[in-house]
Amino acid sequence: MSADRLSVYEAIRLRRDVRAEFTGAPVDEDTLWRILDAAHRAPSVGNSQPWDFVVVRDPVTLRRFADHVAGKRVEFRDALPPERAATFEPIKIEGIVESGTGIVVGYDHDRGGPQVLGRATVPETGVYSAVLAIQNLWLAATAEGVGVGWVSFYDPEFLAELVGLPTGIRPIAWLCVGPVREFQTVPDLERFGWRTGRPLSEAVHRETFGETGFNAEPSTTNARVVPPPRT
Ligand SMILES: Cc1cc2nc3c(=O)[nH]c(=O)nc-3n(C[C@H](O)[C@H](O)[C@H](O)COP(=O)(O)O)c2cc1C
């Protein structure tokens, strides 16, 4: 393994949803394969691996999808109250053409047969599994200096038809993937005043939901490094 790759904690801290920082150069095939391999190693309910990845590079397809997303962006903006519309206006919501590569993630609820172990009472566990594959891909890409931007401004039927998904496989993400000049340190939605994230201490609850927070937040910058087992 190359020593210049990031640790998993470093990749988690560096990861960003990328829209404007793509260099325009395409991600090379070897790197693309490694990040898809990382996605395919995700855990999945009943080992069902309900995902498929359609890699899209045809400029005509990228443009058609970008035009569709532009229309959905207008629909969303027009439904906002004026003050929110003004905040939303400068926010870029995709880098479909600039990234040069789209990965459409398909979800197949029938993959894994009629009795998927662990999905009987929580059917969403299938989609959870596919999303874990996306997160694996996102972190692996970050470690490679490759940006990922998740686009969800689309009609699923349009996207399914655009990339020829068979009946039963539904698109759950379009990921813009490409080398980046830099990763922003603050999420775009915070930088543009749309929405700010909350501290971890508000998200952590003790024993019951009513009890929140730690007295002191443990350091996230000095994550413990577990040494490899001795042979
Ligand atoms: C399910 C999902 C859908 C998203 N859809 C979009 C999208 O359509 N356009 C966009 O610009 N960002 C999209 N994002 C990115 C989020 O806005 C982003 O993750 C969030 O603002 C936090 O920023 P960060 O990922 O850089 O930490 C999506 C993220 C997720 C997880």
| CA of 18, closest atom in ligand 1 | 26
Q: Is 153 in the pocket of ligand 1 (CB under 6 A)?
A: yes
Tell me what pLDDT residue 24 has. 95
| Closest to 57 measured CA to CA, from 177, 153, 161 | 177
Q: Is 183 in the pocket of ligand 1 (CB under 6 A)?
A: no
Q: Is 52 in the pocket of ligand 1 (CB under 6 A)?
A: no
Number of residues that this document lists for the chain: 231
- How crowded is the C-beta side of 130, counted as CA atoms within 13 Å? 21
Profile the chain (231 residues) by mean pLDDT over runs of 10 residues. 76 97 97 98 98 98 98 98 98 98 98 96 98 98 97 98 98 98 98 96 93 63 45 43
Q: How far is 75 from 81, CA to CA, in rounded Å?
A: 12
Residue 142 tokens read as 């970050």
Tell me what pLDDT residue 225 has. 43
> Residue ranges per domain, the chain?
9-185
Q: Is 69 in the pocket of ligand 1 (CB under 6 A)?
A: no
Q: Domain 9-185 maps to which CATH number in 3.40.120.10, 3.20.20.70, 3.40.109.10, 3.40.50.1400?
A: 3.40.109.10
Q: How far is 14 from 184, CA to CA, in rounded Å?
A: 8
Tell me what pLDDT residue 228 has. 45
Tell me what pLDDT residue 219 has. 57
Which residue's alpha carbon is at the smallest distance from atom 7 of ligand 1?
151
Tell me what pLDDT residue 211 has. 81
Q: Is 19 in the pocket of ligand 1 (CB under 6 A)?
A: yes
SS3 for 79-112 is: CCCHHHHHHHCCCCCCCHHHHCCEEEEEEECCCC
